[in-house]
Amino acid sequence: MKKMMIGLISLLGLLLMSVPINADASIPININATLVSRNTDGTSNKREQKLARQDCKVGGQFPIPEVKGYSPDITDIPKFITPNMANQQHQLTYYAEVAKVIVNYVDQTQQKLQSQTILDKGTIDGKYQIDNPPNFRL
């Protein structure tokens, strides 16, 4: 009796493992993003952001959600959705786009005091820092 039960359980396990996956099946994909920005002094900032859950078809392309002002690093992204990806946390890295800040020095009457300064080493969400020009108080 014991051997027959073990045999039935084994057979049931084999049957369940051999059930084909529905081609139209959708599985939930959870994506977390690491957002990387750069400051004008060359240092970087990182922050984590949970992105909206996506329901994806098995065999379909891996979703790459848009994050405004950032571009995804797609080097380590899986190409296609597999059944074992369901309900797992998937980590993507996004890099902030370059942003240029133009600083104009003017007085109370909007008269230009000196040539402008262009800060172009930072990114979206980065910190911009500029030193006061000589003989100026900001």
Q: Tell me the per-residue pLDDT of 64-105, one tens digit each, with 9 for 90 and over.
A: 999 999 999 988 888 899 988 988 899 999 999 988 888 888
In a domain, 103, yes or no: no
Classified as helix, coil or strand, 6 is helix
Q: SS3 of 97, please?
A: coil
Residue 102 lies in a domain: no
Domain-located, residue 123: no
Domain count, the chain: 1
* 41 assigned to some structural domain: yes
What range does the domain containing 63 cover?
Answer: 20-96
Question: Is 108 part of any domain?
Answer: no
DSSP 8-state secondary structure symbol assigned to residue 72: E
Domain presence at residue 91: yes
User: How far apart are the two ends of the chain, measured CA to CA in Å?
Assistant: 90
Does the global pTM surpass 0.75? no
Q: DSSP class of residue 46?
A: E
Instruction: Locate 74 and state its tokens.
Output: 């797609």
Distance of alpha carbon 17 from alpha carbon 93, whole angstroms: 35
pLDDT of 32 higher than 90: yes
